[in-house]
Amino acid sequence: MGLLDLEKHFAFYGAYHSNPINIIIHIIFVWPIVFTALLLLHSSTPIFHLSQSLTLDGVLRLNVGFILTVVYALFYICLDRKAGFVAALMCFSCWLGSSFLAARLGPSLALKVGIASQLLCWTGQFLGHGLFEKRAPALLDNLLQAFLMAPFFVLLEVLQSVFGYEPYPGFQARVNAKVESDIKEWRAKKQIKKNKLT
């Protein structure tokens, strides 16, 4: 899979998220996972030591959370300039918001809030897969790809559903065809395993 092949990434992720209720669950929980992950990373040691005035009295720390924010933002922009720019803004908004929240809560409470939020959001997503999708999450087959694409996938879902946005003409039709093909292949393999067990 090419690193910047949006169609393949989206089709892979879409094959694990075809149920409308599961998609809504992911739309609700994926970006809060990004936000609270950055909240948890706020207390990590700064990589770059800049003056207090440049980092707003230490609230904005140029640490692992900041580096991940930059990497995700650049990756999304490389996948698709328009939607990627929106995703990059969302990434930096999460970093800014989580930094200010972490500074306000303090390290101990920020850790508790971050862990509780992560547990809630991940539980919601696993329930979405178990109860509605009836398929294991994508992260069980490709951990890195699932973590990289989840925030962008749900953003593109919203942009496509609400505004009819497509990165290029025919994108959605081509992705849908690949998703349907992947789901048929998965169901066939599942049936073969079931037949062997009986």
Can you give the pLDDT at residue 48?
Answer: 67
Distances (CA, A) of 27 to 47, 145, 184, 191: 32, 17, 25, 30
Nearest Cα to Cα of residue 30 among 155, 164, 163:
155
**Are the C-beta atoms of residues 136 and 21 closer than 8 Å to each other?**
no
pLDDT at residue 53, as a whole number: 44
| pTM for this model (two decimals) | 0.87
**Residue pLDDT tens, the chain, 198 long:** 577 889 988 888 888 888 999 999 999 999 999 999 999 999 887 776 654 445 566 678 888 999 999 999 999 999 999 999 999 999 999 999 999 999 999 999 999 999 999 999 999 999 999 999 988 888 777 777 778 899 999 999 999 999 999 999 999 999 999 989 988 988 888 888 878 776
DSSP labels, 93-116: HHHHHHHHHHHHH-HHHHHHHHHH
